Amino acid sequence: MDGIDREILRLTQDGIGIEERPFLHAARTLGISEEEVVGRLERLRDAGVIRRFGTRINPRKAGFAANAMVVWSVPRDRAAAIGTAMAESPDVTHCYERRTVPGRWEYNLYTVLHCRDREAVLRKVGALSRATGAADYRIIISTEEFKRQPSGRIEPATGPGRGQ
């Protein structure tokens, strides 16, 4: 890894624009071609310096104001099958299993949905329940988004959709 690689990492670590030529800014800043930027990123990925290059969508900014975690209590021996079915739903962005706390918290399957409004959350959760037979659940709809700052502090997020 050389100085150009480090600069590419610095220029891309906080995200790239959603645009036709997302690496053009880095290329122009460094005085190299876009192809070289992409090639260097690929080499850094292949060498294990970069694990992945992904996209994070801000659901609120994309118009999904009703973001919900749904906790489900399902029989342990059916958790994998029900979880797989839920994870295959286009409405579910995350699905995972956790241990229960007997007598205190009996929910062992968790799903996350991003919808435009509360009514859509209720419809989609109802459809998941009917499709999987999982009838014992709670819906937790977010009311405010918090963002981790580079300093490690967590602060309320700003911008459209905050607090919905």
Question: Model's pTM, two decimal places?
Answer: 0.62
Give 85's contacts (C-beta < 8 A, 6+ positions apart): 131, 132
In this predicted model, what pLDDT tens digit does every residue of 64-113 receive, in sequence order? 778 899 999 999 999 999 999 999 999 899 999 999 999 999 999 999 99
Please tell me the least confidently modeled range out of 36-50, 98-112, 113-127, 150-164.
150-164
Mean of all residue pLDDT scores within the chain: 88
CA 14 to chain centre: 16
> Residue 164's pLDDT band (boundaries 50, 70, 90)?
very low
pLDDT at 162 over 60: no
Torsion-angle region of residue 159: left (phi > 0), alpha (psi -120 to 50) or beta?
A: left
For residues 122 and 53, the answer to whether their CB atoms sit within 8 Å is no
